Amino acid sequence: MRPFAYERAGDLVSAVTAATIEADSQIRAPIQFLAGGTTLLDLMKIDVMRPERLIDINPLEKSLSEISFDRSGLRLGALARMSAVAHHPDVEREYPVISQALKLGASAQLRNMATLGGNVLQRTRCPYFRDVSWHACNKRDPGSGCSARQGLNRNHAVLGTSDHCIAAYPGDFAQALIALDATVSIAGSKGDRRIPFSDLHRLPADTPHIETTLSPGELITEFHFPARPWARRSLYLKVRDRESYEFAVASAVVALDLADGVVRDIRIALGGVATVPWRSLAAEDALRGKPLDESRAGMAAEAAFATAKTFGGNDFKPELGRATLVRALLAVAMLEVRS
């Protein structure tokens, strides 16, 4: 690991002021916030991230880790730990998909460390990105090329890819955020703002090294989920290479407002298959106002992967992704939900 200066955040305002610096993207800035450290220290050890200064934001935990539920919805502080949110009774009851997405991620130890803010900013597991002995990786070193397109790409994305990068977004929780219309509150030295979660991540396009719309120094403070009829009838289905402690090969979030067997409204997001947290409007449109049965579910799954592009190693992914979504749709329709 390269040397860095270490300091602790005294308060929110001084933390964002101290972290504001010129850089081409937040994630490549020489000053980084240290939350759980489970992405940052991992990538610093393998020399993929090289910050010169860390601002430990754990001293802000008390004020930024609140979990509160009321009629307007659910608020989750960005420094809340994955485990605290996953096992919170209001979250389990009102937004089961959030609890499930968090419980199925990483391990018990990692979930005790990792924060929600760090979680949504976790970085791809593309093996070429994570191994600096590979020269070509546009995400790590802009303009150097992409080793994965012609290399081992079994775990890579089939949706949202570009000529410059096909790396999959690895996280689970972000799929719940994007499906459930969540918003993100952000503090920065130029003021605070609140944006839809769907505006946080950027498609790789020709700048895969710029992963989000955050500016250097901006700090995520909170996530807000609105109260919606589909929140309770929701689930997360995760398919992976081993039973536990593994990233998704394909996953699906479904949240459903069902009336007499007919889809009044629905939210669908897909994990493990796309370059960014991926909401499938096409799949939702195929189901809204329709009865939910196996053939309709199949049509929605076709629509979800209509634009899929594969690269050899991941040729199997559209089919697995479709089957995952169909299974999730049929399971969510069967759920018994108290009103």
Partner 1 sequence: MDTYSPLKTPSLSQRNGSMTAVNLVLSVNGRDYRLTLDARVTLLDALREQLSLTGTKKGCDQGQCGACTVHVDGRRILSCLTLAASVEGKAITTIEGLADEGGLHPMQQAFMDHDAFQCGYCTPGQIMSAVACVTEGLAETDDDIREYMSGNLCRCAAYPNIVAAIKQARIDMQRGRS
Ligand X SMILES: Cc1cc2nc3c(=O)[nH]c(=O)nc-3n(C[C@H](O)[C@H](O)[C@H](O)COP(=O)(O)OP(=O)(O)OC[C@H]3O[C@@H](n4cnc5c(N)ncnc54)[C@H](O)[C@@H]3O)c2cc1C
Instruction: Please choose which of partner 1, ligand SF4, ligand X, none residue 295 contacts, taking the beta carbon within 5 to 8 angstroms, the exact cut-off set by kind.
Output: none
Residue 32's φ and ψ, nearest 5 degrees, are: -125, 145
> Of 172, 131, 123, 173, nearest to 152 (Cα)?
131
CA distance 318 to 53: 42
What SS3 class is residue 72? Answer: coil
Which of 165, 174, 231, 256 lies at the binding interface for ligand SF4 (CB under 6 A)?
A: 165
Q: Closer to partner 1 at the Cβ: 108 or 281? A: 108
* Rounded distance between C-alpha atoms, residue 48 and residue 142, angstroms: 13
Residue 267's DSSP bridge partners are 255
Which of ligand SF4, partner 1, ligand X, none does 146 bind, CB closer than 5 to 8 A by kind? ligand SF4
Q: ∠88-91-97 over CA atoms, to 5°?
A: 125
Under 8 Å between Cβ of 173 and 105: yes
| Amino acid at the residue 46 | I
Nearer to partner 1, 34 or 258 (CB): 34
- Backbone φ and ψ for 44, nearest 5 degrees, come out as -70, -40
Pick one of 44, 167, 176, 254: the residue that binds ligand SF4 (CB under 6 A): 167
Residue numbers at the binding site for partner 1 (CB under 8 A): 1, 3-8, 18-21, 30-31, 34, 36-38, 41-42, 45-46, 52-54, 56, 58, 83, 106-110, 112-113, 243-245
Could you tell me the smallest distance in angstroms from the CB atom of residue 296 to ligand SF4?
Answer: 34
Among 100, 124, 183, 234, binds ligand SF4 (CB under 6 A): 124
Tokens representing residue 318 in the block: 């559209």
When the beta carbons of 87 and 264 are compared against ligand X, the nearer one is 87
91 contacts ligand SF4 (rule: CB under 6 A): no
Shortest Å, Cβ 272 to partner 1:
18
- Residues of this chain that interact with ligand X (CB under 6 A) are 27, 32-40, 42, 78, 105-106, 110, 113-115, 117-119, 121-122, 171-173, 219-220, 247
For the window 14-53, what string marks contact with ligand SF4 as x by the rule CB under 6 A?
----------------------------------------
**Pairing mode, strands 183-187 and 219-226:** antiparallel
The beta strands (E) that lie in 176-335 are given as 183-187, 193-196, 219-226, 234-239, 250-259, 262-271, 278-279
| Binds 20: which of partner 1, ligand SF4, ligand X, none (CB < 5-8 Å by kind) | partner 1
- Please state the closest distance from residue 221 (CB atom) to ligand X, in A: 7
Short-list 229, 264, 250, 265, CA closest to 337: 229
CA 319-324-330 angle, to 5 degrees, is: 125
Q: How far is the CB of 194 from ligand X (least distance, A)?
A: 14
As given in the structure block, the two tokens for residue 126 are: 């593309």
Distance, CA of 54 to CA of 33 (rounded, Å): 6
Query: Is residue 129 close enough to count as binding ligand SF4 by CB under 6 A?
Result: yes
Residue 208 interacts with ligand SF4 (CB under 6 A)? Answer: yes
Question: Rule CB under 6 A: is residue 138 a binding residue for ligand SF4?
Answer: yes
Supply the minimum distance, in Å, between the C-beta of residue 213 and partner 1.
21
**Alpha-carbon gap, residue 1 to 67, rounded angstroms:** 35
Q: How far is the CB of 282 from ligand X (least distance, A)?
A: 24
> Token digits for 268?
């669908």
Q: Which residues bind ligand SF4 (CB under 6 A)?
A: 124, 126, 128-129, 137-139, 146-148, 165-167, 208
